[in-house]
Amino acid sequence: MDAQIKNFTSPFEKGELITPEQAMQLAIEVAKLGAPYVSPNPLVGCVVVNANHEFINYGFHKKFGQDHAEADALKKLSPQEIKGSTFYVTLEPCAHEGKTPSCAKTLAKHPVKKVVFGLIDPNPLVSGQGAHILIQAGIQTEEYQGPLKQSLNELCEVFLKNYRDKKIFIAMKVASSLDGQVALKSGESKWITSAASRTYVHELRSYYDAIIVGRNTIEVDDPSLNIRHPEINKENKIVVIDPSGKILDQIAGGKEFNFLKVNKKENIFFGVSKKNHDSDFQQIEFSNLNDLTEKLWHLKIRSAFIEGGAKTYSLFLEAGLVHRLYLFLASSIIGNQNGVSWTNAFGITSLDSKLRLKSTDVLKFGSDILITGQLN
C-alpha cells in the first residue's frame, strides 16, 4: 500500500483515450482511497471507458456497508455512457446479496459491453459466480492477465490472506536509523524519523483493524496509539502484549497511561499468559503468538499493525507471522554500543534461512526512506 490519503484527482480527463493497463492502474489507485474504512471488505476500484476506450469515470468502495466500486461508478454515469461501456474492476464483481446488492446482478441489468476484473474473488459466495452472472447476461467478461497482476494481489493482500488461510494479516512498522537502531539503551527513541514519516504512520494505522505493541513500548514511550490524521476519522483496536500482567498491575495501582485516555475501553485488549480476574479490562489469555493471533481472528480482527518494540518485532519475525514490513530509515547513524536493534532477539543460523522482502516499494519522506514489501 503506497498511496497516501489526499484529495484525489483523476490523471485523465473525461473523453481522453487510455490503455487497458492505464485503466486498471487507475482502478488500483482509486481503490486505495477506501483503505481506512472498508474492512472486513476488500479494497476495490473501478474505471469505466466507452466504446472508443476513452475515459468516462471511476468508482471505489468507500466504506463497509456502502456502495461497492461498480455501484459507485454507475451512479456517476448517464444511460448513454453506460451503453457499450467497459468496466475495469480490481476484483470480480460480487454475486451475493449482503449489506449491498450484488454488483454482478446490477451490472447485468445495464447495457454494459464488457467487464475486465483483476482477480477472482476468493470468497466462496462469489468465486467464479460473479463472472458467470455477467456471461449469462451477454456481457463479455474476462480476468485481467496483464503486467499489473502482482499489484492487484498486493491491493487485496489482507482480504486474500483472510479468505485463503482464515488467518489475520499482520503488518509491522519499524522506525530505524541507517544502522538498524530503534532506540538508545536508556529508552530514548523520540524522534528517530521525521515528522513527515510519522504523519504517514498515522495513515498506515488506519489501514488495519488493530495496533499491536509490547509492554515495554507502553512503559517507555507511553504512546497514545490513536489515529491522528487530518483526513481520517477512525478508531482502532489496541492489543498490548503483557504476558505477566505488569501493565494491568500498574493500572490497578493508579498509573495513567496515555493510550487509556484517548481510546475507548471496549477497544483495548491485553494479551496475558494468565488472566487477572481483579481487572475489568478485556484480556486474551495466550500461550504463544500463534495462539494469540488465532484468538484475535475469533474476535473478528482481520488485520493488525505492529508498532514495537524490539522484542515484539523479533518474536513475531521468529514465529513467521509478519506478512508485510514497513521499514522507515532515517538518514542517521546511532551505533550498536548504546543503541537497541529492532532485531536484537531474532537470528538465523545460515544465510540460506534469511528473510527476504518480496515486491518491494521505496518511498521518500523528507530525508527518510520507506522500504515496504511482503514477507510471507
238-262 average pLDDT score: 95
Q: What is the pLDDT of residue 267?
A: 97
Cα 61 from Cα 46, distance rounded (Å): 9
- Catalytic entry in 16, 21, 29, 70: 70
Q: What is the pLDDT of residue 6?
A: 56
pLDDT over 50 (residue 1)? no
Are residues 199 and 173 in contact, defined by beta-carbon separation less than 8 angstroms? Answer: no
What are the pLDDT digits (tens) for 9-45? 888 999 999 999 999 999 999 999 999 999 999 999 9
What are the pLDDT digits (tens) for 44-95? 999 999 999 999 999 999 999 999 999 999 999 999 999 999 999 999 999 8
Residue 10 CB neighbour total at 10 angstroms: 14
Question: Is the CA virtual torsion 63, 127, 108, 73 positive or negative?
Answer: positive
Q: What is the pLDDT of residue 7?
A: 66
pLDDT over 60 (residue 172)? yes
Grid cell locating 233:
476519522
What are the pLDDT digits (tens) for 136-158? 999 999 999 999 999 999 999 99
Distances in Å between the alpha carbon of 39 and those of 44, 64, 308?
Answer: 11, 6, 23
190-218: buried (b, 16+ CB within 10 Å) or exposed (e) per residue? eebbbeebbebbbbbbbbbbbbbbbbbbb
219 a catalytic residue: no
Are residues 284 and 294 in contact, defined by beta-carbon separation less than 8 angstroms? Answer: no
Cα 95 from Cα 124, distance rounded (Å): 10
Looking up cell 504512546, which residue turns up? Answer: 223
- Go through the domains of the chain in sequence order and give each one's CATH number: 20-159 (3.40.140.10), 167-374 (3.40.430.10)
Q: What is the mean pLDDT of the chain?
A: 92
